[in-house]
Amino acid sequence: MSDESYRSARPTNGDGLAEVTLDQAHAPDKVLAHEDLLRKFVNGESFRPVHMRVGIMGACNMRCNFCNFHSPNEENFYDLFSFKDAIPTDKSVRLMREFAESGGRAVTFCGSGECTIHRGYTEICNSGHAAGLRIGLITNGSRLHRDDIADCVVNTHTWVRIGLNAGTEATFNDITRDRERTFTSFLGSVRRLRDNAVDPDFRIGFNFVITMQNYREISQAARIARDSGAHYVRFEPEFYSSMGHETIEQVMAEVSASLDDVSTLSSEEFEVSVPKLDRGPMDQVESVEGDFDHCHYSRFVTAVGADGHLYPCPQVHLNSRYRIGNVLEDGYLKVLEGGARAEWESSNPLRTDLCKSCFYRPQNELLEWLRKGRIKLDDALNTYRVEVPHALHADFV
């Protein structure tokens, strides 16, 4: 294969669906910005993850009706989820330091709950930042207007992604059960954070999960996102692990047309991200999707759940089949480099169970093709340097 295969690892939609256009912050080929790690990877050498996805809270102050963690369709998938789980502040601070000392470069706060309602959120972020980590946040946005959270974000965060999920306040409130007038706060809080952020690469944007309830508000939501001062709006279809996207399959033509329409809003100041729409379910599926055999992405990125356990990646966290070890009790590095993680690496060569449909398929395809020599590493690196002189948020692989 030629270096054209490096581009062909990017996600695409089927005939008749909107073209996939991903914003810079969510580019799936950012692994090519890490030449040092890639050379070790291709040569079969060991290295440690540089990005950690961590959920410090199981609890959330919203109840979004499409949320995987509160869906009856997910009882077998997130079987370890509990809204009572939380990583205490002191142990979270220690985890940040241990990760940084082991070569970690970036942490994304996300997970089964809303991290910003954790009483120690600002202290945890300040400690992680002081240790040299770049900080990202996936949030419902309900706390961003508060001075303590806003000050923490502008001084320590590299990016923030907010759940929008509607084009009107009424639909937003109906979907989320919000009682804090969060929707109306977006127009003020987003601009404030964008204008005052210390990190020169700071990005703040919205994520819109497309459902039967909100798909007719795609256009309104995109314009609200643009007018708020956000850097981007990112769309994705509703996704229950056991159902795939069948919930909106009957209106996919209308969804695709709306996405084509809002794509015209893209400019140098504002990006519209259109997703892969036709991805299958992660669970209860027999076919294996993607042109790769092994999970390589978990070598670069790892995940810690609100239960304090290490998991291979965010897709399978809080599932008992993928639980590796308790980093709070045994320490991050001991769990990472202990026998349990190596055992998982060796026991999952054919992507069994929840890995048959991989959310990180583009990354894994690219990595496997590099490992097998189907793409020449130097050719891919040279092409990437020309096309992407500065990889935005490269440490968030």
- The per-residue pLDDT for 314 is 85
Residues in the chain where the model's pLDDT stays below 50: 1-4
Query: CA 92, CA 336: separation in Å to the nearest integer?
Result: 16
Report in angstroms the alpha-carbon separations of 166 from 94, 159, 207, 216: 38, 21, 10, 9
DSSP conformational letter for 61 = S
Whose tokens are 């109906």? That residue is 174
What's the pLDDT at 3?
43
d(CA 220, CA 225): 9
pLDDT at residue 74 in the model: 67
pLDDT over 90 for what percent of the chain?
A: 71
Nearest to 99 by CA among 123, 129, 57: 129
Q: What is the pLDDT of residue 218?
A: 98
Task: Note whether 232 and 188 are within 8 A (CB).
Answer: no
pTM score of the predicted model: 0.95
Rounded to the nearest angstrom, the gap between the alpha carbon of residue 272 and the centroid of all alpha carbons in its chain is 17
The string of pLDDT tens digits covering residues 104-136 is 999 999 978 999 999 999 999 999 999 999 999
Helices (H), 197-288: 218-228, 252-262
